[in-house]
Amino acid sequence: MTMNEKKPTEYQGLQVIGGGLPRTATTSLHNALETLGYAPCHNFRMHIIGDTLPYTHTRTWQRLFDPQTPKSTRRALLHNLYTSTAAPAAVDCPTCYFVDDLIEMYPDAKVVLSIRSSPSAWKTSFAATIGRVATPSMKFATFFFPGMTFGVIPLLTRMDELSQRRYGCAWGEEAAYERHNEWVKRVVPEERLLVFEPKMGYEVLCEFLGVEAPRDGEGRVSGFPRVNESKGFERALGVFAWVGYGSWVLVIGVVVGVVRRFM
């Protein structure tokens, strides 16, 4: 039986929670979960980068990272966010930072902690991609992109602030990766947690979730999705930089022209 065959008609909350940090094959896990019927699966790329004016979804997440937000309010907002997308599963950031809330909100949900081969491998991948987004140079370059200026970058900043409060270090450090994984293992009951790498395949994931593994036309278990967004991420940042700096040149040129005209 697949998850689709037993999915209730009304939204019942999260059934699968991704506890792994970004750059731990979360997109591969996202695709695998949707293949298994846990769709739509909430993730950063689709629901944060894909957010549109007035960026209600992303701004709500920003509020959730405020340490002054009461627990009851935080949990109500979390539930509303997932309800608004009808997501039976959620992976990647910002979900991964709220595992402690989510396992209590959804007592039947299971947690998949995706990991990398080593902390150093994770840090290298993080630094080359998402770690470049909230830098001063990228903030300057993307100033004229409202989705970045008012949505993505402030949210990434909130995540870094949480990492420093909870783990005592910036969110791109090896220590943050290690301490986050330790935190997830500490807050999630052992019987509800799977520490997972893509090389483990569908069999391990499906056994944990209690669903059948997908099979190809010859009846063999399908290969696990392997999605590496690093190059696409780097290209996107390059486009943002070129267009952003070009916009600044244009604006400065117009201002200089106006000033000269009236001098």
Q: Report DSSP state, residue 130.
A: G
What are the chain's domains? Answer: 3-261 (3.40.50.300)
What does pTM read for this prediction?
A: 0.86
Confidence at residue 11, expressed as pLDDT on a 0 to 100 scale: 81
d(CA 260, CA 239): 31
Express each pLDDT in 82-128 by its tens digit.
999 999 999 999 999 999 999 999 999 999 999 999 999 999 999 98
Specify burial of residue 166 (Cβ count, 10 A radius: 0-12, 13-18, 19+).
Answer: middle
Confidence at residue 232, expressed as pLDDT on a 0 to 100 scale: 66
Confidence at residue 48, expressed as pLDDT on a 0 to 100 scale: 83
Query: Contact 48/150 with Cβ under 8 angstroms?
Result: no
Q: Report DSSP state, residue 242.
A: H
Q: Report DSSP state, residue 168.
A: S
Tokens of 73: 């309010």
Q: Which amino acid is at 183?
A: W
Confidence at residue 4, expressed as pLDDT on a 0 to 100 scale: 45
Which residues, given as ranges, of the chain have pLDDT below 50? 1, 4-8
Q: Where are the alpha helices (DSSP H) in the chain?
A: 3-6, 26-35, 44, 56-64, 71-85, 99-105, 119-128, 136-141, 146, 153-167, 174-187, 201-209, 230-261
d(CA 124, CA 251): 35
Express each pLDDT in 12-30 by its tens digit.
899 999 999 999 999 999 9
Tokens of 225: 């999705």
Tokens of 147: 């989705």
